[in-house]
């Protein structure tokens, strides 16, 4: 595939014509939910202006309520938690607490540094809640979710070695070497070495028995489908419980609408995944 083709295939702004309207709708829905939810905003976790997270406790939920993290996308260079607050609405209604982090963006930091920030965030979240989350994320956030699943938490002080047992990644990126060939890398600034370092596809697989759902819209480009297929195949071959899921009728951005819509199969699959993880850890109530 030529560099020109990759620039199209890997860029939703070129394949989803109404991407600006979709982003504006997300902002509106997110602001609306923040205005009505009993949420805690801008909780610091790593000492920089953007290293904060928003926490949306489920109404009436006790300390044993299940917990979901949602990590935003934007090619590590754009967006923040504030665009995705509405992700918490449906989950809160099902008794699931939700945490949504922002992080520093490239080119001011590197992708490996963002991975480190997400680890620091999960440590702080554990200190706050004492709960093991299912980590979900979209696009670059799907990459970061996979990195949290593949982290060896036994080497991190103050958290259980099984801190993350399940990731629910939407339209994620796991092999970052193709990014070297596209315009996005003008901002991301990956080198061959850092692309390899940050590619979770090339990491040691998560421990056997951990779970990855690698979901992608059925209308997405073949490169995004291939990214999800490959990580499910490679990690699945190494003992991880992997599911590759194509979401009918969805493209790279509308999968976010789907996962935030109660009744949609993708939302219901996320809830079932969270409930399953909570049941295995003995943390589900109600």
Q: Using one digit for the tens of pLDDT, what is the confidence trace for 151-162?
A: 999 999 999 999
In a domain, 112, yes or no: yes
pLDDT at 62: 81
pLDDT at 15: 80
Domain hosting 186: range is 3-281
Report, as an integer, the average pLDDT of 33-58: 98
Altogether, the residues listed in the chain come to a count of 286
- CB-based contact 16:251 (threshold 8 Å): yes
Structure tokens at 119: 């680890």
Residue carrying structure tokens 């090619």: 75
In a domain, 126, yes or no: yes
Q: Which of 16-20, 36-40, 113-117, 138-142 has the lowest mean pLDDT?
A: 16-20
In a domain, 249, yes or no: yes
pLDDT at 285: 39
Asked if pLDDT for residue 229 goes beyond 90, the answer is yes
Asked if pLDDT for residue 283 goes beyond 60, the answer is no
Q: Strand pairing of 241-247 and 211-217?
A: parallel
Long-range Cβ pairs for the range 21-27 (8 Å, 24+): 22/253, 22/254, 22/257, 23/83, 23/253, 26/83, 26/84, 26/86, 26/256, 27/82, 27/83
pLDDT at 221: 95
- Which residues fall within 8 angstroms of residue 82, CB to CB, at 6 or more apart? 27, 30, 31, 34, 54, 102
pLDDT at 83: 99
Please provide the distance, in angstroms rounded to a whole number, between the alpha carbons at the two ends of the chain: 51
pLDDT at 175: 99
Q: Which of 2-11, 28-37, 251-260 has the lowest mean pLDDT?
A: 2-11
Q: Between the CA atoms of 113, 129, 169 and 171, what dihedral angle is there, to the nearest 10 degrees?
A: -70
Residue 20, classified by CB atoms within 10 Å of its CB into exposed (0-12), middle (13-18) or buried (19+), is: exposed
pLDDT interval class at 3 (50, 70, 90): low
| Per-residue model confidence as pLDDT tens digits over 109-136 | 999 999 999 999 999 999 999 999 999 9
> How many domains does the chain divide into?
1
Rounded to whole angstroms, the Cα distance separating 202 from 85 reads: 32
Structure tokens at 152: 């060896």
Report, as an integer, the average pLDDT of 169-187: 98
* Average model confidence (pLDDT) across the chain: 96
The fraction of the chain above a pLDDT of 90, given in percent, is 91
In a domain, 286, yes or no: no
Residue 237's CATH number: 3.40.50.1820
H-helix segments, 111-213 = 111-129, 140-150, 185-188, 192-198
- CB-based contact 101:52 (threshold 8 Å): yes
Rounded to whole angstroms, the Cα distance separating 92 from 198 reads: 32
pLDDT at 286: 36
The fraction of the chain above a pLDDT of 70, given in percent, is 97
Q: CA angle at residue 14 from 243 to 88, to 5 degrees?
A: 50
Asked if pLDDT for residue 82 goes beyond 70, the answer is yes
pLDDT at 281: 80
């Amino acid at each position: 595939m030529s560099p020109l083709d990759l620039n199209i295939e890997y860029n939703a702004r070129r394949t989803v014509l109404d991407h600006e309207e979709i982003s504006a709708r997300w902002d509106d829905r997110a602001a609306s939910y923040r205005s009505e939810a009993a949420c805690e905003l801008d909780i610091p976790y790593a000492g920089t202006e953007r290293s904060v997270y928003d926490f949306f406790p489920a109404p009436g939920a006790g300390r044993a309520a299940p917990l979901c993290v949602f990590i935003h996308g934007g090619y590590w260079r754009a967006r923040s938690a504030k665009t995705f607050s509405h992700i918490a609405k449906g989950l809160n209604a099902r008794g699931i607490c939700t945490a949504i982090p922002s992080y520093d963006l490239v080119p001011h930091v590197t992708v490996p540094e963002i991975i480190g920030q997400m680890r620091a965030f999960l440590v702080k979240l554990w200190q706050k809640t004492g709960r093991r989350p299912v980590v979900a994320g979209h696009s670059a956030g799907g990459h970061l979710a996979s990195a949290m699943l593949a982290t060896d938490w036994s080497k991190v002080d103050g958290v259980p070695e099984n801190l993350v047992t399940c990731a629910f990644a939407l339209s994620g990126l796991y092999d970052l070497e193709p990014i070297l060939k596209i315009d996005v890398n003008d901002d991301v600034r990956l080198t061959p070495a850092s692309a390899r370092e940050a590619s979770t596809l090339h990491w040691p697989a998560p421990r056997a028995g951990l779970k990855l759902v690698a979901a992608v819209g059925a209308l997405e480009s073949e490169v995004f489908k291939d990214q999800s297929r490959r990580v499910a195949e490679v990690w699945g071959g190494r003992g991880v419980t992997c599911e590759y899921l194509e979401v009918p009728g969805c493209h790279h951005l509308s999968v976010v609408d789907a996962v935030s819509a109660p009744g949609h199969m993708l939302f219901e699959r996320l809830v079932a995944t969270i409930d399953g993880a909570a049941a295995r850890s003995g943390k589900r109530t109600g």
